[in-house]
Structure 1
């Protein structure tokens, strides 16, 4: 079975969110189960790509509207990611440091349609010319949503139009919406089928993929249900396509996220020495931020964005910090500029109890997972969530809102066999009560030790989920 994954992100090559982690780990587990799998992504002008060697395996020109563009498909030499990685090199489109936006200004690129349309066209040109055709094309999010449409509708790709396609929705908030006239830049198709790309009079890349693909997946069962009620205007479409939809929970790469071998944490530890291992890493973490390791430490790692519920945090932290409760709060992330200002003010006003690093820092993230007592995730929307799985792998108890994949992966300590702290309503008071429950738990060190041992024994690897994907691929191929 030959499967190719198409994505705008792949860890560690280029990462903005959880999409990169999934695309960078799932293929390894598919390979272990004898799937011939590879990943294709744009060739960005970032540091990782500049520091690694690639060899050209295919080059050509392809149409984009009234003109043609040149492109090259290149394979990373040595397959150091554990699977074949291909990049699409399109001059003047992706050879920039940012993925979706200019990192210096934070502004999105104005030629996004041309960028990702040419990326997807180049992919189909290459697949169309392959001698050994893939059995399944697996697309991820709206950046690759036009592939199923062009594959089935463009006259240029008639020879491969019956290739099964999967579209995985990692975040239904983002649709890839453009002026509808842009559709005429795509390779020629029967204009009677223009409705496949249309949604509310716009060209909607995610909607086009949902309508045209063979199979829709999302990254948790609960999120699959939630999209039918909250997907920024695509609710009816998700309900209408339910018969070809399936939720498969994400996993994590347990080789990368392993406290016994992780090169990014100061002290390695396992289930046999959890208390001492956690304490040593906590001391390192607190020394880094000037905090007291005797206090319970609650952290947040992630984008400072509306869907992550980060706007709930400043007032929540301020309430505890003003009351001089013995608790440390740590924030690692970047995003909304107003939140940056609020966290910087907290840095200034609560030295020794609060610290925010407003940046993306992967090594620091690993140390925070290893040294924190609790990980807070108050998300408005959380398709799957990986941070709660990473934190539990390192013995850090999750405090999460009961939504999407958080609901599927964290059972409240008040329920049978529970091991985390959950709250339902996106309200200050609900989050405050959850944090207070965490502080109460911390005081009961016997219960805390028991929960740490339990969460470090849970299996969140890709093994089970990879088998579900393979089962799905086989069904599509049989069709």
Structure 2
């Protein structure tokens, strides 16, 4: 079975969020299953990974976007270093940039990305068994292969769509229709939602089946989906919730090369303390105090707007009996507010940016991980935290409620219902009480590190979905 994963992100080539971790791990674990050949196709980026590895051009062609003729290059990595074949789509002027997102012409980018893939496959007579489309950036692929005569060779190929974050839908005005390949015009309704072209809605309508990255998130979409609630209810017969896994070959405290000190369940308490001491020394924090961490984008859906109030109020109310470290970026206003607090409180440390190695070090050092998310389709951070012996403190939403039960019911972390400052402060207070119960805390850490979030189970569930 030949499976092509289509995505704008893939770790370690280019990462913005959890999408990259999923696409960088799922095909690798699928390839461990007999008779499965999973590959990844993504845009070309001016990134270290691309510069440091060898690629060869396996296709050179052209596509039309309205009156524009665009060159399409397909580059294949010469060695299979990630556990799967990796293909990069390079289109000069559109897909040859430093980062996946943030450009004003991103609608043109993603249209060209999708059209380029299908043009390459059609020209080279590559007919996959499954095209696995990840998020709205590839949402028009199921429509194009069945309704654009140019791609008639691919008509009928099974398409599986995965919604990693339904907050982003790629909505475009109908003026963009001129930049799509020619299609059967009586099928325009498949593209439309509320008077606009909506790639995510189109993906749900046209894909053979679609999945979300947790069962809890699927349930939420039926009632809260930024205007697509009725659509997902109409299409519920082909909807599936499959929780993400984590790559235990990357996220393993015993072998993680990014850590100062490696450890296992047997020596977690003594060695994790050494990592904590090293991190606290670097950021001038007191290693004797409980350490809370936030890692992620400074986005509203992540609850990052709560951080400034949470930091100063928790330090004040605890009389300075805790440390907080924040790693992230994405909102300049929040960055400035947190920088101000960093100059005031010695109990608070801030590092702006995306730093993979530092995130690993924080998971291996912190006592608690804060996730005050308003929206969390799956969440991987809580799984990484548990794997590294850090207790998650999370809002009860999406994939978080699937993976973290409250300690009061024998669970693995601390839940709070409403993502607001007061609820987060209350959860931190509970965590401080838990921290004082030394043996209970030790038992919880050991129990959490035994949780199996490996990709093997989820990979098998996707295989079942492919075969349906």
Q: Same fold (TM over 0.5)?
A: yes
| Of 351, 368, 371, the match for 2:365 | 371
CA distance in 2, matches of 1:64, 1:335: 31
Aligned to 2:194: 200
Aligned to 1:361: 355
1:440 matches 2:433: yes
CA distance in 1, matches of 2:198, 2:119: 22
Aligned to 1:418: 411
Cα distance per residue 1:207-240 (max 9 Å; x no partner)? 1111111111010001011112112111111111
Shift of 1:46: 2.3
Shift of 1:473: 0.6
1:450 matches 2:415: no
Aligned to 1:14: 14
- Indicate the SS of the match to 1:94: coil
| Of 334, 348, 357, the match for 1:339 | 334
Any conservation in 2 of the 1:45–1:94 contact (CA below 8 Å)?
A: no
Aligned to 1:230: 224
Gap regions ≥5 residues in structure 2? none
Shift of 1:132: 5.0
1:221 matches 2:222: no
CA distance in 1, matches of 2:65, 2:342: 50
Q: CA RMSD in A?
A: 1.1
Cα distance per residue 1:290-343 (max 9 Å; x no partner)? 000000000000001100001112111211222423100000000111111111
CA distance in 1, matches of 2:289, 2:419: 27
| Of 305, 321, 327, the match for 1:326 | 321
Gap regions ≥5 residues in structure 1? 102-108
Report the TM-score when normalising by structure 1: 0.96
Any conservation in 2 of the 1:54–1:77 contact (CA below 8 Å)?
A: yes
CA distance in 2, matches of 1:211, 1:474: 19
CA distance in 1, matches of 2:303, 2:149: 45
CA distance in 1, matches of 2:446, 2:208: 42
Aligned to 2:58: 57
CA distance in 1, matches of 2:94, 2:186: 31
CA distance in 1, matches of 2:181, 2:339: 49
Aligned to 2:91: 90
Shift of 1:182: 0.8
- Where do residues 241-320 of structure 1 align in structure 2 (5 Å cutoff)? 241-320=235-314
Moved more, 385-394 or 189-198: 189-198
Shift of 1:131: 4.1
Runs of 4+ in 1 over 6 A off after TM superposition: none
Shift of 1:174: 0.3
CA distance in 2, matches of 1:150, 1:29: 29
- Where do residues 22-37 of structure 1 align in structure 2 (5 Å cutoff)? 22-34=22-34, 35-37=36-38
- Indicate the SS of the match to 2:266: helix
1:127 matches 2:121: yes
Aligned length in residues: 466
CA distance in 2, matches of 1:129, 1:468: 32
CA distance in 1, matches of 2:297, 2:99: 16
Any conservation in 2 of the 1:299–1:375 contact (CA below 8 Å)?
A: yes
- Indicate the SS of the match to 2:297: coil
CA distance in 2, matches of 1:286, 1:26: 34
